[in-house]
Chains A and B, each alone.
Chain A
Amino acid sequence: MIPVSREERHWFLKNVARALSEFSGVSEPPVPVEEVLNHPPAVYQDDFGVVDMYSNLWDATFARPPGRRGSIFVRVDLDPEERRFALARETLCAILTSKHGRSLGMPDLLMSELKDSTEYFAAHCLAPESLVQAYRAQGGDEEGFAESFQLPAAVAAARW
């Protein structure tokens, strides 16, 4: 894989987020991330799933047991905004380790900067460019951004 700049990686991730946003057909926030995980694009049918768990170790983590459907194991007691962000973040792990993600070459592009990639993707998955532009055009301000898009406050501040 050729060396790739942060800007180029982010550009690619914005398009991954855009793909899921367009697939969900969402026209206004919030983006139904859990709905997408439960009813994914056909190419990820065997890679997306959500399992609630009791744990103090992680907020969420993606795992694919051998020969079985991959799932995001998410802590059951997270705040709704934290849960959405954790699910969106782990969705990228599900995509890039999927058969289709591997056929696209996504691991080579994203694995070396996985934390930054998953967090950047999650912020754009939950607040896609088109919806943010529409929100701003309608006079939406920074104060209402987190609530409208159901984002954790720190994520909203960074995304705004």
Chain B
Amino acid sequence: MSMQALNQLVSRSIVDPTVVQAFRSGRIGDVLDELEFTSDLRAQLEGIESDSWAEFAVISYRYVKAAEMPAPRIELPSPLEGLFPDQQSQADQEQVA
């Protein structure tokens, strides 16, 4: 959803000079309010420091892309692992014996 909003913002900036005017005068937050960004992202985007609108757009893309990526799943071993003897290896040892 936020990527759609960012795409909308950037494509609008290409034909609508009021977007870059707002950016240059430090009022980009007003424009961001018109779009469907999450409150966290909106705050991040408003806080971006950049030399130009194009640079702002690219940095925004990085933020939004990172926010939309699914959180990596860390597969930890079961806390029970190692508490019980490994029955299979015990059976193997008996077979060898």
- A residues with a Cβ closer than 8 A to B are 1-2, 4, 8, 11-12, 14-16, 18-20, 22-23, 41, 43-44, 95, 100, 103-106, 108-109
Contacts and interface: CB of A to CB of B under 8 A. Distances in A.
Interface in B55-69: 55, 57-59, 61-62
B11 interface: yes
Contact of A43 (B11, B16, B53): B16
Q: Secondary structure of the B side of the interface?
A: helix
Interface of A is mostly: helix
Contact of A103 (B10, B53, B57, B62): B53
B54 A105 contact: yes
Nearest to A23: B15
Given A1-B52, A106-B54, A22 B59 contact: no
A12 B17 contact: no
Contacts of B59: 2
Interface size class of B (residues with CB under 8 A): 20 to 34
Contact of A109 (B11, B17, B54, B62): B54
B20 interface: yes
B71 to A, nearest CB: 21
A105 B14 CA distance: 11
Nearest to A41: B15
